[in-house]
Amino acid sequence: MTVQDQDTGLSEFVQQWEQWRDDHEQALLDPHGFLAVTSLRWLDEEPTRFPDAPGAWSTGEEGVVVELDDGEELTVDGVPVRGRYGFGVIAERAGVNAVAGDAVIEVAKRGGYDIVRPRHPENALRTGHTRTPAFPPDRRWVREGRYLPFEKPRAVTVGAAVEGLQHVYDAPGEIEFEIDGGTHRLTAFNGRSPGSLQVLFTDATSGVSTYAANRTLSVGAPGEQGAVVLDFNRASNLPCAYTDLATCPLPPAENRLPVAVEAGEKIPHERLGDGH
């Protein structure tokens, strides 16, 4: 390979990373994304009204119910609803979005609890967001690894960004990789696309230059003999890095890396309070 080829390859690597950054920021700024969340409401049997969502909300054996006064309306699955409306029993980690004007009212279940989480595009956290800082891309942090599937998926209980809350995920296996002469294994969860994986982790930069609680890394579907690539340059923050109104999972204990992974996204400006 010539020097020119090497330069071209590096340029493409950087361009692809910059495109990933742009796409990630665009998703973060979605009008009804996590930066638009104005409150996190934990429902019980007592119908309760909230200032950022129409109706009185409650939950019970029949699931989440909203009671809308005269003049109040929600749109659910494209259909306007008025009066008393039942969302039914919502499955864990599932949810329904009800539209109220330019806002979306998320109705969901997290950690066994029914919640309402209004999302308003004009929320100051969203309108004042500044691009998330990140380490410069470095090929050193593109590591080849090997996926080691379990005989059958294991239920793994992890903590959450909200104190007292727990999440349970099925882990299909582990990912083994080497860096700086050391071998590490990370428990992997199922990713968003079929066959893909996701790892939650902390490392020696956590709480120093990166968000203390967690970062996440998407890993493509394993190839032959379980071959995978971990590109830590694309390690990203979860919503809890930006807002206390998220219920993000924490990494399992074995996913706390002793090395400093100086790659991927850093602590958001919103947490630093510098406004830049």
CA dihedral over 81, 84, 88, 90, signed as positive or negative? positive
Q: Is 80 exceeded by the pLDDT of residue 15?
A: yes
- pLDDT for the residue numbered 9: 67
What value does the mean pLDDT of the chain take? Answer: 95
pLDDT digits (tens, 9 = 90+) for 168-186: 999 999 999 999 889 999 9
pLDDT digits (tens, 9 = 90+) for 257-275: 999 999 999 999 988 875 4
pLDDT digits (tens, 9 = 90+) for 92-138: 999 999 999 999 999 999 999 999 999 999 999 999 999 999 999 99
List the structure tokens of 18.
């910059």
- As a whole number of angstroms, the distance between CA 113 and CA 165 comes to 9
**Residue range 152-166: mean pLDDT, rounded:** 95
**Residue range 18-39: mean pLDDT, rounded:** 97
Q: Is 90 exceeded by the pLDDT of residue 66?
A: yes
**Residue range 43-53: mean pLDDT, rounded:** 98
Q: Is 80 exceeded by the pLDDT of residue 73?
A: yes
pLDDT digits (tens, 9 = 90+) for 208-238: 999 999 999 999 999 999 999 999 999 999 9
Q: Is 70 exceeded by the pLDDT of residue 2?
A: no
- pLDDT for the residue numbered 7: 53
* Confidence label for 10 from pLDDT (cuts 50, 70 and 90): confident
Task: Report which of 234, 250, 88 is spatially closest to residue 169, judged by C-alpha positions.
Answer: 250
Q: Is 90 exceeded by the pLDDT of residue 162?
A: yes
* Confidence label for 5 from pLDDT (cuts 50, 70 and 90): very low
Give me the DSSP letters along the chain: --HHHHHHHHHHHHHHHHHHHHHHHHHHT-TTSGGGB---EE--SS-EEETTEEEEEEEETTEEEEEPPTT--EEETTEEE-SEEEEEPPPTT-EEEEEETTEEEEEEEETTEEEEEEE-TT-HHHHT-----BPPP-GGGEEEEEEEEEEEEEEEEEEBSSTT-EEEEEEEEEEEEEETTEEEEEEEEE-SSTT-EEEEEB-TTBTTTB-SS-EEEEEPPP-GGGEEEEEGGG-B--GGGT-TT--PBPPPGGGB-SS----SB---HHHHT---
